[in-house]
Amino acid sequence: MSEQQTILAIGAHVGDVELASGGVLASHSLKGDRIVTLALTAGERGVPAGQDMAQYREQKVQEANIFAEMLGGEAIVFDYQDGELPDTEQVRMEVCDVIRRVKPNVIITHWKNSMHKDHALTHHIVNDARFYASMPTIERELPNHFAAKLYYSENWEDAVDYVPYVYVDFDQAAFDLWIEALSKHWFVTGSKSFKYLDYYKALAVVRGCEARKTYAEAFMVPAETMKIRQSSLL
């Protein structure tokens, strides 16, 4: 049996990573890997009409926990306000500390371009935090840790210049677990602004077709890692 891997998926809001990489997270969960999600804000500004925003924030945190628990994992939600994520060293160090505690083999986060400022900023925060976490000379409470692989998930709000580079397929069992867990998020099933569930279910089928599999999710990688190594043209 292969050694358990740890995947840390970091989004700007509760629901971001669950939507964009949840099928792959569910697949790894079923394979025995450890899944941790981190949301830098709860995403509470998507509050349903007539509901108190503070109460909706509590609901969002609960939804993050339910999703993670269904995958046998852990959810972390920072206290920053939706739409007001700060561009500071403090938040980078807080993410660094999570990386050092969780010790992921893989980090998944947002692509660099987005219509949503929190998404674009999260990309840069995570890239810097990954670097800080790896440096033994940056002294924090916990020792350094290097997450060897970094992927950027495919999010409909982060589409500018996004070109799928890696396709990761998953089976029906993972798809079913993902959709069941995803459906615990109110905005996925109840939002009138965008058909989240329909879109991401269909996207998993499309990427699966392109990968010659049943279902798949696509990822970008840092430009410096876009290297295919081989000893022959054959």
Unique residue bearing structure tokens 């409470």: 141
CA distance 9 to 104: 9
Provide CB contacts within 8 A for 78, sequence distance 6+. 38, 39, 40, 41, 91, 94
pTM of the prediction?
0.96
What is the predicted pLDDT for the residue at 78? 98
Q: What is the CA radius of gyration of the chain?
A: 17
**Residue 49: pLDDT band with limits 50, 70, 90:** confident
Per-residue pLDDT tens digits for 126-176: 999 999 999 999 999 999 999 999 999 999 999 999 999 999 999 999 999
Provide CB contacts within 8 A for 121, sequence distance 6+. 12, 85, 87
* Under 8 Å between Cβ of 222 and 131: no
C-alpha neighbours within 13 Å on the C-beta side of residue 221: 13
Per-residue pLDDT tens digits for 62-117: 999 999 999 999 999 999 999 999 999 999 999 999 999 999 999 999 999 999 99
Share of the chain above pLDDT 90, in %: 92
In the chain the domains, ranked by start, together with CATH numbers, are 6-225 (3.40.50.10320)
- Count of residues for the chain? 234
CA distance 100 to 93: 10
For the chain, give the mean pLDDT.
Answer: 96
Question: 7 - beta bridge partners?
Answer: 35, 106
